[in-house]
Amino acid sequence: MTNCDNMKKFFKEYWPYLTLIVFWVIVGISVYSLFGCDRALRKENEQLREELARQQKYVPLKRDTIRDTVEVVTQQIVEVEKIKEVLTKEDKELLKDLNTKVSALESYQTLSTEAGGEVVLESHNTNSQDENKEDTMLMYKDAWVDFSYNTTNKKLQFACKDSLAIVVEKEFKKRFLWWRWGVKGYQVKAVNYNPYSTIRYSSYMKRK
Q: Which of 92, 76, 108, 85 is nearest to 189 (CA)?
A: 76
| 21-25, 32-36, 113-117, 151-155: least confidently modelled range | 32-36
User: pTM here?
Assistant: 0.62
Q: What average pLDDT does range 184-207 have in this prediction?
A: 88
Confidence class for position 103, pLDDT limits 50, 70, 90 = confident
Categorize the per-residue pLDDT at 72 as very low, low, confident or very high, splitting at 50, 70 and 90. Answer: very high
> So what's the pLDDT on residue 5?
62
Inform me whether the pLDDT recorded for 19 exceeds 80.
no
> What are the domain boundaries of the chain?
1-57, 58-115+162-207, 122-160
Most confident range (mean pLDDT) of 4-13, 34-43, 49-58, 183-192 is: 183-192
Q: What is the mean pLDDT of residues 147-160?
A: 89
Comparing 65-79, 107-121, 136-150, 176-190, the range with the smallest average pLDDT is 176-190
Residue 108 has phi, psi (to 5 degrees) of -150, 125
User: Has residue 2 got a pLDDT over 60?
Assistant: no
